[in-house]
Amino acid sequence: MRKGIGVSPGVAVGQAYCVDEIFVNPEHTQLAEQEVFAEWCRFEKACERTSAELRALQQKVSRQVGKDQVGVFQSQEAILRDPAFIGKVRDQIVRYLRPSPAALEIVFKEYDQLRAKTKDAYLKQRLLDLHDVVIRLSGQLSPLLKEDGAPDETPRVLVAKELLPWHIVAIGGLALSGIVTQTGGRTSHAAILARRRGIPAVTAARGVCDHCANGDLIVVDGRNGTVIVHPDPEQESAYRKLQREFVDLRGKLAENRDRPARTADGVELTLLANINGVEDAQAAGAMGAGGVGLYRTEYLFLSHPAVPSEEEQLANYRQVIAAAPGKRVTIRTLDLGGDKTIPFLGHDREANPFMGWRSIRLSFEHPEFFLEQIRAVLRAAAAPEGADADITLLFPMITTLEEIRRIRAMVRKAGKQLAAEKKPYRFVPFGLMLEVPAAAFTIESLLREVDFVSIGSNDLVQYLMAADRDNPKVSHLCEPLSPPVLRVLQRVIQSCNRAGKPVNLCGEMAGDPRSFVLLLGMGLRTFSMSPALIPTIKDLAAQITLEQAAAVMSDVSSQRTTDQVRKLVGRRVHELAPNLELLESSN
Ligand code: PEP
Ligand code: MG
């Protein structure tokens, strides 16, 4: 049994599917002699598919970004023909009888050790290219894909050291019943993915990858962070019973999708969904969302072989608008950088990526993509799906007023260009994402120049506490219920309400019952969260009055430690809505 952080509530019991950092299946069985030829053919096929992928990428990048940018993909393709690399993998398969994912892993580790040691910049870069090729190859060899490339439907518990944004793209719609990661915190990608799917998850479960192999039975309790590998029969049957109750409760809450979101004293709330694509927009409707409060458009870029063109973006935004409940969508411009890197924007690895060249800062440096994205949104707003829709544009990671003015000039420029080209467009309200403390402290001044505010508490908390949200050694500090965070949130919400500017919160805490009660008590009325969490929050809202929420917030104001806040709010939520016990988190 291991203890981590419960980051998505509920209970799951199932077979483990282990993936390591680069997505190679680490199972090291021995092949029978007669299997060797078929295994080598499988590896060759994976190489062919990867090669085709890289060639398509070269063509797209050359068309859309410029011929000078294709070099990196050409070198990567050359690796697939490199006799030294391929010979080593072949040796592992043919001489040492290893399945190809294991063979690839062994060879990769050998090169990776060299990468750690070498001081030669050229060699280092080539080895980084090799890393990217291995990622692509191992994706092609994934046991979660059948021979024909179709996903396997059996739900499994995903076990990984860490989940990176590109893993999430690779996982796509694969059936999962739970997630466990060895690192990460409450707002890591694994946590966000799990909440998006409404499945239990535990992060920071130390050492779990060393004690769990593919196919092992594993229990995940996302309420308190418990993970059990090889449960005994009694544990298994107790947790299976809890899993059934969890699935029943989730189903029952989802039946309330058509009920309005209202507090017990009849105050209307707006519960919106955070989405990464068209399918999520559809799921948002099925969960009873009032609209889309955050469309993270970077996933369109991450899942695309090159920069999606303006026309491709336009088509995608139109689809999202058509699928969004109430035709309400907030489209956030590219939020890349940090840990979300894409190959066609360069390979630079920064010492402090979250404090560096990310998000709006990166968009300013690539005005060609940025302007195209703004143009695509303005055009989508004038398209048949968008004309009567409630569309807003949201800009991430705003730090200064100068940035807002620069954005406004870009939006005007996009409009002017479209008018000159006689392309239909419509200006839409624009808002800032509040996730940098500097912006929180100057909010009154910024508010005069934007139409609305969306609080990105995931980043706000990490920047406020100076603690990387994905680093398990410090992620305990990334605590939305800590007194300093609550104080800043209250200040921002009150400033927006006083100025009459709409404000919502789209960080992960919006869907956490305890945080929701406090935000309600601070005066927030619009919340955007993973679609799967909307039914729970709607049910909780119906059991609480504004006066009760304000009283909890007021009691919390005198608490001086996070632990005290957690305990106090946890107790109150339990008293107010005991039916939600299975979804409550105890840490
Ligand atoms: C946030 O920072 O709270 C947020 C919603 O944005 P992301 O998680 O995409 O950084
Ligand atoms: Mg953010």
- In this predicted model, what pLDDT tens digit does every residue of 249-263 receive, in sequence order? 988 998 888 899 999
CA 332 to CA 355: how far, in whole Å?
20
Given the CA of residue 294, which atom of ligand 1 is nearest to it? 5
Domain that holds residue 399: 259-583
Pair (96, 6) in one structural domain: no
pLDDT at 348: 60
Rounded to the nearest whole angstrom, what is the distance from the C-alpha of residue 357 to the centroid of ligand 2?
Answer: 14
Pair (428, 547) in one structural domain: yes
Residue among 163, 164, 187, 436 whose CB has most ligand 1 atoms within 8 A, to mutate? 187
- Nearest residue to 10 (alpha-carbon basis) of 162, 161, 210, 155: 155
Pair (402, 380) in one structural domain: yes
pLDDT at 472: 72
pLDDT at 17: 84
Q: Which residues contact 374 (CB under 8 A, 6 or more apart)?
A: 333, 393, 410, 411, 414
- Residue 119's pLDDT band (cuts 50, 70, 90): confident
Residue at 410 is within a domain: yes
The residue-averaged pLDDT of 227-240 equals 94
Residue among 168, 297, 453, 506 whose CB has most ligand 1 atoms within 8 A, to mutate? 506
CATH assignment of the domain containing 322: 3.20.20.60
Between residues 25 and 352, which one has the greater pLDDT? 352
Rounded to the nearest whole angstrom, what is the distance from the C-alpha of residue 458 to the centroid of ligand 1?
Answer: 5
69 pLDDT above the threshold of 90:
no
pLDDT at 549: 98
Q: Which residues surround ligand 2, an ion (CB under 5 A)?
A: 435, 456, 459
Given the CA of residue 459, which atom of ligand 1 is nearest to it? 2
Residue at 322 is within a domain: yes
Q: Which residues contact 537 (CB under 8 A, 6 or more apart)?
A: 261, 271, 510, 511, 513, 516, 527, 529
- Nearest residue to 143 (alpha-carbon basis) of 194, 92, 214: 214
- Nearest residue to 263 (alpha-carbon basis) of 520, 556, 502: 520
Mean pLDDT of the chain: 88
Query: From atom 6 of ligand 1, which residue's Cα is the shortest distance away?
Result: 456
CA 527 to CA 523: how far, in whole Å?
11
Given the CA of residue 338, which atom of ligand 1 is nearest to it? 10
pLDDT at 368: 85
Q: Can you give the C-alpha Rg of the chain in angstroms?
A: 24
- Residue 314's pLDDT band (cuts 50, 70, 90): very high
Out of 71-85, 154-168, 288-302, 333-347, the most confident range is 288-302
Out of 259-268, 279-288, 344-353, the most confident range is 259-268
Pair (566, 527) in one structural domain: yes
Between residues 570 and 123, which one has the greater pLDDT? 570
Residue at 221 is within a domain: yes
Pair (368, 488) in one structural domain: yes
Residues with CB under 6 A from ligand 1: 294, 296, 335, 435, 456-459, 506-507
Between residues 494 and 103, which one has the greater pLDDT? 494
Pair (101, 219) in one structural domain: no
555 pLDDT above the threshold of 90:
yes
Among all ligands shown, which has an atom nearest to the Cα of 470?
Answer: 1
- Residue 292's pLDDT band (cuts 50, 70, 90): very high
172 pLDDT above the threshold of 70:
no
- Residue 446's pLDDT band (cuts 50, 70, 90): very high
The residue-averaged pLDDT of 460-481 equals 88
Pair (295, 242) in one structural domain: no
Share of the chain above pLDDT 70, in %: 91
Between residues 584 and 30, which one has the greater pLDDT? 30
Pair (244, 293) in one structural domain: no
Instruction: Judge whether 182 and 206 are in contact, CB under 8 Å.
Output: yes
Pair (315, 241) in one structural domain: no
Pair (426, 307) in one structural domain: yes
pLDDT at 382: 97
The residue-averaged pLDDT of 169-188 equals 80
Rounded to the nearest whole angstrom, what is the distance from the C-alpha of residue 396 to the centroid of ligand 2?
Answer: 7
Residue at 147 is within a domain: no
Rounded to the nearest whole angstrom, what is the distance from the C-alpha of residue 456 to the centroid of ligand 2?
Answer: 5
Residue at 446 is within a domain: yes
Residue positions annotated with a catalytic role:
189, 506
Instruction: Judge whether 1 and 231 are in contact, CB under 8 Å.
Output: no
141 pLDDT above the threshold of 50:
yes
Pair (466, 374) in one structural domain: yes
240 pLDDT above the threshold of 70:
yes
Q: Taking every pair of C-alpha atoms in the chain, what is the biggest distance, in angstroms?
A: 75
Q: Return the amino acid letter for 70.
A: V
CATH assignment of the domain containing 216: 3.50.30.10
CA 263 to CA 271: how far, in whole Å?
12
The residue-averaged pLDDT of 288-299 equals 95
167 pLDDT above the threshold of 70:
no
Domain-ending residue, one of 230, 249, 268: 249
pLDDT at 23: 47
pLDDT at 346: 57
Pair (223, 327) in one structural domain: no
Residue at 194 is within a domain: no
Query: From atom 8 of ligand 1, which residue's Cα is the shortest distance away?
Result: 458
Query: From atom 9 of ligand 1, which residue's Cα is the shortest distance away?
Result: 296
Q: Domain tally for the chain?
A: 3
Residue at 254 is within a domain: no
Residue at 300 is within a domain: yes
Residues 373-419 pLDDT 10s: 999 999 999 999 999 999 999 999 999 999 999 999 999 999 999 99
Alpha helices, DSSP H, located in 277-396: 278-286, 298-302, 310-323, 360-365, 367-382
